[in-house]
Structure 1
Amino acid sequence: MIKLDNIYWKYKHFSLEIDDLTLQTGITILVGNNGSGKSTLLHLLATAARAPRGTIHYHDDTMDSALALVRSRIGFVPTGVELYPDFTPLKLLMYMAQLKGLGKDFSIRQIDELLKVFHLEDVKKKKVKKLSQGMQQRLAMAQAFLGKPKYIFLDEPLNFLDIHERKSLLNYVAKLAPHCVILVATHELNEWEPVCNRVIWMYQGKVVYSGSKLMWKHQLPLKVWTGELQDSLYDHFSNQHLIVYAGRVKDKLSIRCASNIKPVLGFIESQPTMEDAFFIRKYTKEAKR
């Protein structure tokens, strides 16, 4: 468990304020618009930045009481992580294992495992700068899991990964979830839904929702409806209802919208997705401002 108390951080015109927040064992997804404070929070949790006010408790430890120990238990992948371009994946992972103080035999066994998990065996002796973006992203993931960390912080980890690699990462993280605190900043809410336990929503530097994924989807002020619409009716319709999705099916528009009442004849109520819930919550919050 991780507990944040009275955290305050400011940079130029942006400030992050968290009075009280607890991260439980399992996978929590961190959602919000760009600039809402997600990456800042991850950097603070990973000890890559330090808040001038407040305390983060990692079980019984803090940065003040046991910084080296806390860091040894953290796996972190920020966005745009820069890897050593002239290293090979094998050399990079061995180097990172040494920095983490891992024993040689353990390091070799785990590195072999991670190279297999992230499908990097065939390129383990190829220089990083020669790897594709997807391969570099998988390598960044692999280094984060070295040493079996208790606290894992991932910032947009699905970036640059194809559908097969995405599923592989989700399955791997899900296996670790019963034993780790895992926080994932993501815009792909629906992809993480099958494996996540909780949701944290940040808005303008503050946590405005922290709870289960079921409450996130089902305690909404609007219902979700789906149906088809003629093109000529779209402008009027969109002025009356929140459009979550619009696509084309033959000569009509396929609409997914949010409203308190049934929009028009033929529309049916649908179960909200994780992303539906985000659009609805954001829309209603901004409408109140």
Structure 2
Amino acid sequence: MIKINDIQWKYKKFSLTIEELTIQHGINILVGHNGSGKSTLLSLLATAKRPSQGEISYHGDTMNSNLLAVRSKIGYVPTGLELYQDFTPVKLLLYLSQLKGLPKKLSIHQTEELLSIFHLRDVQKTKIKRLSQGMQQRLALAQAFLGKPTYIFLDEPLNYLDIHERKSLLNFLSKIAPHTIILVATHELNEWEAICNSVIWMNEGTLQYEGTKTMWKHELPLTIWTGEMEDSLYENFSKKHLIVYAGRIKDKLVVRCANSLKPAPGFKAVAPTMEDAFFIRKHSQQRS
């Protein structure tokens, strides 16, 4: 497990402070608005940044006690990762595997394996600068798994991936999750709902929530309701209730809202999604 103890990091007017946090094996999603500290936390965990105070422990090892051992077990994909544009995918993976210290045979084997997993075999000898953004994103993801790391940190990994590649990545992560600590910063909570184990919520550089996805969805101050109404009634209704979603199915206006009591006749209580829970929690925090 990863244990965070009293860490702090500051840059200009932004500061990140976490007194205590434990991250277990499995898929943990990191949520929060832009500027909340998600990317900063990932870079601290990936040892790309050092906290100004406090300590991060990786199964007992720390940056101060055994930095090389810690880094050898980390796979990291920040947003906007720049790849060597004149390399090919196969050359890049072989090069990075050498930097990680993998033996030659293992390096070749893992490179071939990752090219297949991320569907890059057809372009393995094409220069990276000629690849689409989606292909470059898949290559950025592939390099993170060289050496079969214990700790995987991914910042918005679904960016530029089509629906098939998204499903492929989620399936791959779910297979390795029992033996890997995976932390994913994402704005797309619902896509991770089926496979994630826990949720970590950051806001303005501080930890707001850490717990299971079940607790995240059900320990809420408001209930999610859904129902249909006439267009003419919506404006007045929206002024009285917290609207989560309003859309049209054929000729009917369908409204999804959050309220402590049934908002109107015909509305039914429904189970909240991951994004519903974030919407309610954020709204409740702003009002407090």
- TM-score for both structures, normalised by structure 1: 0.98
> Secondary structure of the equivalent of 1:6?
strand
Counterpart CA distance in 2 for 1:256 and 1:96 is 48
Counterpart CA distance in 1 for 2:49 and 2:32 is 20
Structure 2 counterpart of 1:194, which letter?
A: A
1:101-180 equivalences under 5 Å are 101-180=101-180
Partner of 2:234: 234
1:5-44 equivalences under 5 Å are 5-44=5-44
Deviation at 1:250, TM superposition (A): 2.8
Deviation at 1:232, TM superposition (A): 1.9
Deviation at 1:248, TM superposition (A): 1.3
Structure 1 counterpart of 2:233, which letter?
A: L
1:53-72 equivalences under 5 Å are 53-72=53-72
1:143-222 equivalences under 5 Å are 143-222=143-222
1:65-80 equivalences under 5 Å are 65-80=65-80
Deviation at 1:236, TM superposition (A): 1.4
Deviation at 1:70, TM superposition (A): 0.5
Partner of 1:255: 255
Structure 1, gaps ≥5 residues long: none
Deviation at 1:24, TM superposition (A): 0.4
Residues 117-166 of structure 1: CA distance to partner in whole angstroms, max 9, x if unpaired?
A: 10000000000110000000000000000000000000000000011000
1:90-109 equivalences under 5 Å are 90-109=90-109
Computed over aligned residues only, the root mean square deviation of the Cα atoms, in angstroms, reads 0.7
Deviation at 1:241, TM superposition (A): 1.1
Deviation at 1:228, TM superposition (A): 1.3
Residues 227-248 of structure 1: CA distance to partner in whole angstroms, max 9, x if unpaired?
A: 1122222221111111111111
Structure 2 counterpart of 1:63, which letter?
A: M
Residues 244-275 of structure 1: CA distance to partner in whole angstroms, max 9, x if unpaired?
A: 11111233321111000111111111000000
Counterpart CA distance in 2 for 1:60 and 1:265 is 57
Counterpart CA distance in 2 for 1:104 and 1:239 is 65
> Secondary structure of the equivalent of 1:129?
helix
Partner of 2:267: 267
Structure 2, gaps ≥5 residues long: none
Structure 2 counterpart of 1:277, which letter?
A: A
> Secondary structure of the equivalent of 1:34?
coil
Following TM superposition, the consecutive aligned residue runs of length 4 or more in structure 1 with deviations greater than 6 angstroms are: none
Counterpart CA distance in 2 for 1:270 and 1:51 is 42
Partner of 2:225: 225
Structure 1 counterpart of 2:5, which letter?
A: D
> Secondary structure of the equivalent of 2:101?
coil
Counterpart CA distance in 2 for 1:194 and 1:51 is 33
**Percent of counterpart pairs with the same letter?**
68
Counterpart CA distance in 2 for 1:167 and 1:223 is 30
Counterpart CA distance in 1 for 2:246 and 2:79 is 30
Structure 2 counterpart of 1:84, which letter?
A: Y
Structure 1 counterpart of 2:144, which letter?
A: A
